[in-house]
């Protein structure tokens, strides 16, 4: 059973719950992107994903990508599907019209990537970095580089990588040792070894553009010494550059995506942006990239739910409690509370997370294009605070919720045949990459909430509760938002005396923030009647975690 | 890095915390098993596990077991290790001296199997069913069958299987269709297909003895129509029986254990026990088998912890909060609170779970051998209530805690090289087999706690709090035990009006019960100073879940 996108469910959240049409209508570049056009784009996207990409997911897992003599062969069907994908214009959905893009709102691209990830996480890793690379080049590269690469990457004709991690430098990029040595012609000789490079080498496209973080000869130690280099696999004159794939990793899952060890051996590259401002050049893509990882989580969980829901409606075991439900010797397992509860809970996770993630997509569009500076500020606030939260909670739930969905299958879930265990394996990496979930928590609490005494967080909560499209927040949501303000104030106070304390409870704080945001989303869904799943499931099975997290934070704060 | 058993840590829990020597001294068969002997056995067991079994774990994953033309080839080294294992007498540790066993307490076997599972879960599946099969034959088989098979299985010279599941009959064994047709010579022709048969076919031993659940021709439908048949791979005269392995499953993990589809095609078998009492004959082994699965969970989590702890003490990334800890450019990741917290928490899970599991092993010994009927009743009560709890919580924690340990490695955890992802994959199945964790929850609440109005549960809590080796239970433990009694009473009351309610909260109820039991264990560890990990970790990071679970139960009970 392949994943099947459900455009109606998504449209209902985008347009009915979030009022996307009205939100986007005020943004100049999207004046022509009315609801009908956006609906049509989503219908077409759903078709493409379901027909061209989803059926390849099992092949992505096995045989997966193969490595031999420096070359990576992607699984059968991957290249034709990718070629069809870029030629149909999908990677360029929200790229600028100037660069061959369609200039549509980024939020549509969010939905597209959620579905692609649900359908085939491994395949989707290939174009997953495209938009970020495009934005990075567009905003920071020289005109000459833009001329040569922007359109190729905007359209997806060539794929791109981000070469950040080194064997000893993972979460701590400041330790990176890759060097770039200036040449008389303005280019650089780039040397160093990068690991965990998704799509560092493959056969999907005719060229691969590497964005490589490294140091100039005179650079200081630490993150401020990092510059960004563009290193193509093939040079403009057709020669092969000295960018070598030494091996691909044997991983827990995601075998459809080659995770490469890349060795740059005096490869030719060009500087993107200012020397020493490499991290800055990459940060333009960070919120979008993290949002995309959150959307991967949502998609993977939806895919797991689809499988488990279908299985629960065909498998019979034992009598369910209550009145006899079937003349057969056993009832459908969906009629067993333990199974129904799993499915209701994961459905509620998908639906509420979608509200948060799509709103974040809208806020990114608004932050870029709204005419009003205050509105842009509010949008940036939302993106800054909510992005680490959803990156963490959605990827956490993808893995843990997919494991719950596996449980619905009993022993059959543990064998490969049903495809559910692949989702568990594939999804696990999303809790790690684009900043581990522990780093997201530190980003939220230590870097964003505490430094201004909680002011930004409080402003976000004000926005959330005062939302004009919203009749009146429920008393429970108001109380929980107030509890979040209160515990924030306590953290601010304790932090002044002991700055290490926050690091112990950052994970809890992120979960509390996430649960309040999700409660807002659940209330929104309930008010709009757009929720396909059990409307009580969020309150019943998910929200109670909030009290536990609060108790843990408080007990830590009380320890001297 | 292979798993290394730590006999001292285990001995400290067994002897210092649980007073095993005094507990066992009163049991007639163990009069000669003094503390010194038991310590020596554990030292030797630790050596064998660490030297002979642990180094094969990676080969168990890859290449794993191979299937061709009806035959299963186990990974390199598996057969020699198994032959050394049984020839050294390890499977017979707690088998009766009459059957060639050593007659030692079952609790020692518990420790042995915990270590074996930690070292090599796949390999350990092979002997994992031996003791259950031995007990089943010993208590239920005819003298002739016992004569032929009891000693071979007690010593482990031949391995055994339990053939229960069929494609349409998993949790619901009553749906099984395999038939046994009586023959004039007193044997039966057994026909049917069984799936998920661990070790249904392999090359570890010279014969395999299948215990097969099936129906006599005149048997009623449902579980009461099931009988148990002994079907050997090779007949006493050396002929090959009609028991065929049609394939082995492709699984998420546990590749070192062949999960077979077994087809019995008029195979020759003999009845074990009475016709229609097949489930009864298997139930003698159920508590022990579930306890062994709990111990697998504990072992796997300990193995994950060992790996993560070692990595956290050698990997450096970023500055940890607080005073500078190292002159190097980055601190050890153990100094980062998010990492330390993961390790402290998983260590606390292992230590507290061991206390519960080893006590359950002791209570099983006491239930079998104590002279006093009241003490046997109390021991049976403990085993009956605590076994489903620890089967569920320990296997849940193995998977989720191993995933936390994987997180300590960052991206390196997702690649196979470090072996941590294998533990996540291998451990997942333990939440499913021997009764899914959802079924354990129903077993506890619906079958064991509610029917007598909570009386057995209350008696267990009385035993727990009144424990004579215990100075005075903490006020927090007393309060939580009281809360468990209270919520039990509420469930009993609601259940009278609406028996389906319990099924919605059975999972929560099991967790609450587990958390109270673990709190008792944590208090015991703290009192005996035997806890190697952070003594506050249980209270700080694990126990707060109790309030959340209570809140969920109460909110469900209040729904009309």
CB atoms B544 and A556 under 8 Å: no
- Whether the CB of A555 is below 8 Å from some CB of chain B: the reply is yes
Instruction: Report pLDDT for A20.
Output: 95
- Whether the CB of A147 is below 8 Å from some CB of chain B: the reply is no
- A546 to chain B: closest CA residue: B548
Do the domain assignments include residue B352? yes
Distances (CA, A) of A512 to A445, B82, B282, B546: 11, 50, 47, 17
- Measure the CA–CA gap between B99 and B151, rounded to whole angstroms: 5
Provide the pairing of β-strand B208-215 with B159-163: parallel
Q: What is the CATH number of the domain that holds A329?
A: 1.20.140.10
Q: Which of A403, A415, A429 is nearest to A304 (CA)?
A: A403
Do the domain assignments include residue B431? yes
- Measure the CA–CA gap between A326 and B118, rounded to whole angstroms: 44
- B504 to chain A: closest CA residue: A337
B504 Cβ contact list (under 8 Å, min separation 6) = A337, A341, B556
CB atoms B415 and A544 under 8 Å: no
Identify all chain B residues contacting A499, using CB atoms and an 8 Å cutoff: 321-322
Instruction: Report pLDDT for B502.
Output: 97
- B546 to chain A: closest CA residue: A548
Instruction: Report pLDDT for A472.
Output: 82
Mutate to test the interface with B, among A434, A436, A438, A443 (most CBs of B within 10 A): A438
Residue range B457-484: mean pLDDT, rounded: 89
Kindly report the nearest CA distance between residue B3 and chain A, in angstroms: 20
Q: What is the CATH number of the domain that holds A20?
A: 1.10.540.10
Sign of the torsion formed by the C-alpha atoms of B311, B313, B314 and B320? positive
- Whether the CB of A171 is below 8 Å from some CB of chain B: the reply is yes
CB atoms A321 and B421 under 8 Å: no
- Measure the CA–CA gap between B209 and B146, rounded to whole angstroms: 12
Burial (0-12, 13-18, 19+ Cβ within 10 Å), A374? exposed
Is A51 noted as a catalytic residue in this protein?
no
Q: What is the CATH number of the domain that holds B249?
A: 2.40.110.20
Instruction: Report pLDDT for A31.
Output: 86
**Which A-chain residues 264-323 have CB contacts (< 8 A) with chain B?**
316-318, 321-322
- Whether this prediction's pTM lies above 0.95 is answered by yes
- Measure the CA–CA gap between A313 and A333, rounded to whole angstroms: 7
Q: With contact defined as beta carbons under 8 Å apart, do A452 and A431 qualify? A: no
| Pair B325, B466 in one domain | yes
A62 Cβ contact list (under 8 Å, min separation 6) = A255, A416
CB atoms B338 and A507 under 8 Å: yes
| Pair A350, A479 in one domain | yes
Q: H/E/C letters for each residue in A117-151?
A: HHHCHHHHHHHHCHHHHHHHHHHHCCHHHHHHHHH
Q: With contact defined as beta carbons under 8 Å apart, do B250 and B169 qualify? A: no
Identify all chain A residues contacting B165, using CB atoms and an 8 Å cutoff: 411
CB atoms A421 and B428 under 8 Å: yes
| Pair B162, B126 in one domain | no
Angle of helix A337-369 versus helix A106-119 axis, rounded to 10: 150
| Pair B333, B399 in one domain | yes
Instruction: Report pLDDT for B470.
Output: 62
| Pair A97, A162 in one domain | no
Distance of CA A68 to the CA centre of its chain: 31
CB atoms B318 and A429 under 8 Å: no
Do the domain assignments include residue A464? yes
Instruction: Report pLDDT for B1.
Output: 87
**Which A-chain residues 389-418 have CB contacts (< 8 A) with chain B?**
399-400, 403, 406-407, 410-417
CB atoms A411 and B421 under 8 Å: no
- Whether the CB of B374 is below 8 Å from some CB of chain A: the reply is no
Identify all chain A residues contacting B250, using CB atoms and an 8 Å cutoff: 415-417
Do the domain assignments include residue B399? yes
- Measure the CA–CA gap between A259 and A237, rounded to whole angstroms: 28
CB atoms A414 and B317 under 8 Å: no
Bridge partners (DSSP) of residue B161 are: B210
Do the domain assignments include residue B479? yes
Q: What angle do CA B515, B521, B523 make, to 5 degrees?
A: 105
User: What SS3 class is residue A318?
Assistant: coil
| Pair A134, A156 in one domain | no
CB atoms B541 and A552 under 8 Å: yes
- Whether the CB of B172 is below 8 Å from some CB of chain A: the reply is yes
Alpha helices (runs of H) in A249-333, residue ranges in sequence order: 278-283, 286-312
CB atoms A411 and B437 under 8 Å: no
Count of structural domains, chain A = 3
Picking from B241, B276, B311, the residue at the C-terminal end of a domain is B276
| Pair A126, A166 in one domain | no
Identify all chain A residues contacting B399, using CB atoms and an 8 Å cutoff: 403
Return the structure tokens found at A149. Answer: 């690469």
**Which A-chain residues 313-372 have CB contacts (< 8 A) with chain B?**
316-318, 321-322, 329-330, 336-339, 341
| Pair A202, A256 in one domain | yes
Do the domain assignments include residue A120? yes
User: What SS3 class is residue A112?
Assistant: helix
| Pair A376, A520 in one domain | yes
For the cut 90, the answer to whether the pLDDT of residue B410 exceeds it is yes
The catalytically annotated residue of B109, B201, B421, B434 is B434
**Which residue from B317, B428, B547 is facing A551, i.e. has the nearest CB?**
B547
Higher-scoring residue by pLDDT: B530, A479 = A479
Mean pLDDT value across chain B: 95
CB atoms B317 and A171 under 8 Å: yes
Identify all chain B residues contacting A480, using CB atoms and an 8 Å cutoff: none
**Which residue from B432, B433, B548 is facing A544, i.e. has the nearest CB?**
B548
Do the domain assignments include residue B188? yes
Identify all chain A residues contacting B499, using CB atoms and an 8 Å cutoff: 321-322
Identify all chain A residues contacting B437, using CB atoms and an 8 Å cutoff: 407
A92 Cβ contact list (under 8 Å, min separation 6) = A86, A99, A100, A101, A102, A154, A155, A156
Q: Using the structure block, give the residue that is written with the tokens 């070598």.
A: A244
Identify all chain B residues contacting A494, using CB atoms and an 8 Å cutoff: none
**Which residue from A170, A175, A252 is facing B329, i.e. has the nearest CB?**
A175
The catalytically annotated residue of A166, A421, A434, A508 is A434
Instruction: Report pLDDT for A293.
Output: 97
Do the domain assignments include residue B516? yes
**What is the span of the domain harbouring residue A97?**
7-139
Return the structure tokens found at A414. Answer: 């543990």
Burial (0-12, 13-18, 19+ Cβ within 10 Å), A479? exposed
Alpha helices (runs of H) in A373-443, residue ranges in sequence order: 373-408, 411-414, 420-427, 437-442
Picking from A253, A276, A299, the residue at the C-terminal end of a domain is A276
CB atoms A329 and B251 under 8 Å: no
- A506 to chain B: closest CA residue: B338
| Pair B129, B145 in one domain | no
CB atoms A431 and B407 under 8 Å: yes
Picking from A139, A169, A199, the residue at the C-terminal end of a domain is A139
Percent of chain B with pLDDT over 70: 98
**Which residue from A169, A410, A548 is facing B548, i.e. has the nearest CB?**
A548
Side-chain-side CA neighbours of B417 within 13 Å: the count stands at 11
| Pair B386, B525 in one domain | yes
- Whether the CB of B541 is below 8 Å from some CB of chain A: the reply is yes
Return the exposure string of A438-467: e unless at least 16 CB atoms fall within 10 Å of the residue's CB, then b.
bbbbbbbbbebbbeebbebbbbbbeebeee
Would you give per-residue pLDDT tens digits along chain A (560 residues)?
899 999 999 999 999 999 999 999 989 999 888 899 999 999 999 999 999 999 999 999 999 999 999 999 999 999 999 999 999 999 999 988 988 899 999 999 999 999 999 999 999 999 999 989 999 999 999 999 999 999 999 999 999 999 999 998 888 888 999 999 999 999 999 999 999 999 999 999 999 999 999 999 999 998 899 999 999 999 999 999 999 999 999 999 999 999 999 999 999 999 999 999 999 888 877 778 999 999 999 999 999 999 999 999 999 999 999 878 788 889 999 999 999 999 999 999 999 999 999 999 999 999 999 999 999 999 999 999 999 999 999 999 999 999 999 999 999 999 999 999 999 999 999 999 999 999 999 999 999 999 999 999 999 999 999 875 566 889 999 999 999 999 999 999 999 999 999 999 999 999 999 999 999 999 999 988 766 666 689 999 999 999 999 999 999 999 86
B418 Cβ contact list (under 8 Å, min separation 6) = B307, B311, B409, B412
Predicted ipTM > 0.95: yes
Length of chain B: 560
| Pair B75, B207 in one domain | no
CB atoms A432 and B499 under 8 Å: no
Residues B89-115: pLDDT tens digits? 999 999 889 888 899 999 999 999 999
Identify all chain B residues contacting A556, using CB atoms and an 8 Å cutoff: 540
CB atoms A500 and B322 under 8 Å: yes
Q: With contact defined as beta carbons under 8 Å apart, do B396 and B301 qualify? A: no
Q: Which of A348, A551, A434, A470 is nearest to A162 (CA)?
A: A434
CB atoms A318 and B171 under 8 Å: yes
Identify all chain A residues contacting B252, using CB atoms and an 8 Å cutoff: 414-416, 421, 424-425
Strands (E) located in B114-258 = 159-163, 179-182, 188-198, 208-215, 226-232, 243-248
Return the structure tokens found at B128. Answer: 């994992």
> Range with the lowest mean pLDDT among A379-393, B207-221, B324-338?
B324-338
């Amino acid at each position: 059973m392949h994943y099947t996108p459900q455009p109606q469910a998504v449209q209902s959240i985008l347009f009915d719950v979030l009022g996307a049409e009205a939100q986007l209508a005020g943004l100049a570049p999207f004046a022509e992107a009315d609801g009908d056009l956006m609906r049509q784009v989503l219908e077409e996207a759903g078709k493409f994903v379901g027909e061209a990409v989803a059926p390849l997911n099992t092949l992505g897992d096995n045989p997966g990508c193969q490595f031999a003599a420096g070359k990576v062969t992607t699984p059968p069907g991957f290249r034709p599907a990718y070629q069809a994908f870029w030629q149909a214009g999908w990677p360029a959905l929200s790229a600028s019209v100037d660069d061959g893009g369609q200039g549509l709102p980024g939020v549509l691209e969010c939905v597209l990537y959620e579905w692609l990830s649900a359908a085939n996480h491994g395949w989707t890793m290939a174009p997953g970095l495209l938009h970020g690379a495009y934005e990075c080049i567009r905003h920071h590269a020289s005109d000459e580089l833009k001329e040569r690469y922007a359109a190729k990457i905007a359209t997806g004709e060539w794929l791109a990588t981000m070469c950040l991690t080194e064997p000893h430098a993972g979460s701590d990029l400041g330790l990176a040792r890759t060097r770039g040595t200036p040449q008389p012609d303005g280019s650089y000789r780039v040397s160093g070894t990068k690991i965990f490079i998704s799509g560092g080498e493959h056969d999907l496209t005719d060229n691969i553009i590497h964005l490589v973080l490294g140091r100039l000869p005179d650079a200081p130690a630490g993150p401020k010494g990092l510059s960004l280099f563009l290193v193509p696999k093939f040079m403009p004159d057709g020669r092969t550059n000295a960018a070598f794939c030494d091996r691909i990793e044997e991983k827990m899952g995601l075998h459809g995506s080659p995770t490469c060890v890349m060795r740059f051996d005096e490869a030719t590259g060009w500087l993107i942006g200012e020397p020493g401002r490499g991290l800055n050049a990459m940060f333009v893509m960070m919120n979008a990239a993290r949002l995309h990882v959150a959307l991967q989580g949502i998609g993977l969980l939806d895919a797991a739910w689809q499988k488990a829901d279908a299985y629960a409606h065909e498998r019979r075991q034992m009598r369910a409690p209550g009145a006899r439900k079937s003349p057969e010797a056993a009832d459908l397992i969906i009629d067993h509370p333990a199974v129904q509860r799993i499915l209701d809970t994961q459905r509620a996770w998908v639906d509420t997370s979608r509200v948060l993630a799509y709103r974040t997509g809208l806020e990114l569009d608004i932050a870029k294009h709204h005419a009003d500076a205050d509105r842009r500020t509010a949008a940036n606030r939302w993106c800054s605070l909510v992005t680490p939260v959803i990156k963490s909670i959605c990827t956490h739930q993808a893995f843990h919720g997919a494991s719950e969905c596996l449980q619905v299958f009993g022993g059959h879930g543990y064998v490969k045949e049903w495809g559910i265990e692949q989702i568990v394996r594939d999804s696990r990496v999303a809790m790690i990459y684009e900043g581990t979930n522990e780093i997201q928590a530190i980003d939220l609490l230590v870097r964003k909430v505490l430094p201004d005494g909680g002011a930004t967080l409080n402003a976000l909560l004000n926005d959330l509760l005062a939302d004009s499209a919203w009749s009146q927040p429920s008393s429970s949501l108001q109380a929980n938002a107030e509890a979040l303000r209160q515990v924030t104030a306590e953290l601010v106070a304790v932090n002044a005396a002991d700055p290490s304390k926050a690091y112990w409870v950052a994970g809890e704080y992120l979960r509390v923030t996430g649960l309040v945001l999700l409660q807002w989303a659940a209330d929104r869904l309930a008010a709009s009647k757009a929720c396909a799943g059990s409307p009580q499931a969020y309150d019943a099975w998910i929200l109670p975690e909030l009290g536990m997290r609060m108790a843990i934070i408080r007990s830590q704060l009380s320890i001297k």
